[in-house]
A and B are shown apart, each in its own frame.
Chain A
Amino acid sequence: MAKQLGAFVVGDSDKCTGCKACELACFTVHNQKSNGVGRTVGTVSVPVMPRLFLVKGETFSVPVQCKHCEDAPCLNACTKKAISRVDNQVIIDEKKCMGCKDCMMACPFGVIMLAQVYDRGKVLRQTTGEAVKGAFKCDLCAGREAGPACVEVCPHQALRYVDPVEERKEKMRRAAETLAITKTL
């Protein structure tokens, strides 16, 4: 059986201008069904909470998101088993999440956030009246036919969808051709 590894999206800081189109697209896609976001600007009734993070330093900007690790610390840390692997991707079921923050502490990339859960534009509340908080992170726009929205909308092609198995094959092929060039040594 061929090896299957989770895909992921990476940003290129050389191309990124920090425009945040990726963040907006991410938020829109993930709130289309549950919160009705996406028809017009006026439909946005919940805070804009993307699942990837545009990070700006003094000399660079680049979006950072989940790498869908193969030995995922978040998945291993989750005592509620709210994080699982679906089609090789690491997916959080925020309905199962109890907001313990273990996944946030475990993630070495800092790409999981805890936020209020909204349903149909309203804050979901516990029986005590407290807002329900859930863990959110990149799910590669699971179920979206065109693939991750961030990759699609970036005006500078600064985001790339990586299929690690296929990319490795191509890199090894190039390396083999290089060996044919350097064989006289």
Chain B
Amino acid sequence: MNAFVKGNPDLCMGCRTCMVACVVSHTGRHIFELDPDDYTFNPKLHMVKTRAISVPVQCKHCENPACMAACPQKCIHMEDGTVFIDTENCIGCKACMEACPVGAIDMAPVSGVYQPDGKERYVANKCDLCREQSGGPACIRVCPTEALKLVSYEEIADTAQERRLAAAKANADGSLGAAAQAK
């Protein structure tokens, strides 16, 4: 099963360091030392702020990815627990963007590559869990409030098991069960 990065809105303070780290990790450029006009900023996760919460949203690395099924170019692959986009053959058709229920996919320009009409080439852009970098997802490493973590299926399954056990115990101990009512 695929793991994914999950933000906690209770801990997130909306500083967007995760977005910066994502760009640095994927472009390899030291953007703090550059003029903001000299680089394109296209993070693979996005900070969402509503009146009540702030939290970054990124790809859930679904087991049956709608994006992967929608791609006419067969650019989206699932390997080693990661759903990732091979942008080489991407045509920017937005089918994956439309298919994704999370809004995790964006279209980003490939800097310096132009189409005949002068517009930069745009391709799909989403979280790949920093699969080509060592040290795991950069967003998790840099978050100052530790609001991001990598969640595995095993962890979810273990938690579910614990919850079932707790629910059963509460049933056995408390007044909810049929046995308790019969007494």
A170 CA to B50 CA in the complex, in Å?
11
Which residues of A have CB within 8 Å of B107?
3, 5, 70, 164
Given contacts A76-B116, A171-B102, contact A179 B92 (CB under 8 A): no
Could you give 18 example pairs across A and B, Cβ below 8 Å?
A: A3-B107, A5-B122, A8-B94, A10-B98, A70-B93, A70-B107, A70-B121, A70-B122, A73-B91, A75-B116, A108-B72, A171-B103, A172-B103, A174-B103, A175-B102, A177-B53, A179-B57, A183-B10
Which residues of A have CB within 8 Å of B168?
none
Chain B interface residue count: which class? 35 or more
Closest residue on chain B to residue A85 by CB atoms = B117
Binding site for A on B (CB under 8 A): 6-10, 46, 48, 50, 52-53, 55, 57, 72-73, 90-95, 97-98, 100-107, 115-117, 119, 121-123, 151, 155-156, 159
A8 CA to B121 CA in the complex, in Å?
18
Q: Report the minimal beta-carbon distance from A92 to chain B, rounded to whole angstroms.
A: 12
A13 CA to B169 CA in the complex, in Å?
46
Q: Cβ of A172 and Cβ of B57 under 8 Å apart?
A: yes
- 8 A Cβ contacts from A68-85 to B: 68-73, 75-76, 78, 81, 84-85
Cross-chain contact of A69 among B92, B101, B151 (Cβ < 8 A): B92
Which residues of B have CB within 8 Å of A122?
none
A162 CA to B98 CA in the complex, in Å?
8
Q: Cβ of B92 and Cβ of A72 under 8 Å apart?
A: yes
Q: Report the minimal beta-carbon distance from B94 to chain A, rounded to whole angstroms.
A: 5
- 8 A Cβ contacts from A130-185 to B: 162, 164, 167-177, 179-180, 182-183, 185
A47 CA to B93 CA in the complex, in Å?
30
Given contacts A3-B107, A180-B53, contact A172 B117 (CB under 8 A): no
User: A67 at interface (Cβ–Cβ under 8 A)?
Assistant: yes
User: A109 at interface (Cβ–Cβ under 8 A)?
Assistant: yes
Which residues of A have CB within 8 Å of B72?
108-109
Q: Cβ of A168 and Cβ of B103 under 8 Å apart?
A: yes
Q: Cβ of B117 and Cβ of A75 under 8 Å apart?
A: yes
Cross-chain contact of B106 among A84, A168, A174 (Cβ < 8 A): A168
Main secondary structure of the interface of A (DSSP, over half): mixed
Q: Cβ of A172 and Cβ of B115 under 8 Å apart?
A: no
Q: Cβ of A185 and Cβ of B156 under 8 Å apart?
A: yes
Interface size on A, residues (CB 8 A): 38
A70 CA to B42 CA in the complex, in Å?
16
Cross-chain contact of A75 among B9, B105, B115, B155 (Cβ < 8 A): B115
Q: Cβ of A173 and Cβ of B117 under 8 Å apart?
A: no
Q: Report the minimal beta-carbon distance from B169 to chain A, rounded to whole angstroms.
A: 18
Which residues of A have CB within 8 Å of B50?
173, 176-177
Q: Cβ of B57 and Cβ of A67 under 8 Å apart?
A: no
A43 CA to B101 CA in the complex, in Å?
44
Q: Report the minimal beta-carbon distance from A74 to chain B, rounded to whole angstroms.
A: 9
A8 CA to B92 CA in the complex, in Å?
12
Which residues of B have CB within 8 Å of A85?
117, 119
Greatest chain B CB density within 10 A among A109, A172, A177 is at: A172
A177 CA to B94 CA in the complex, in Å?
24
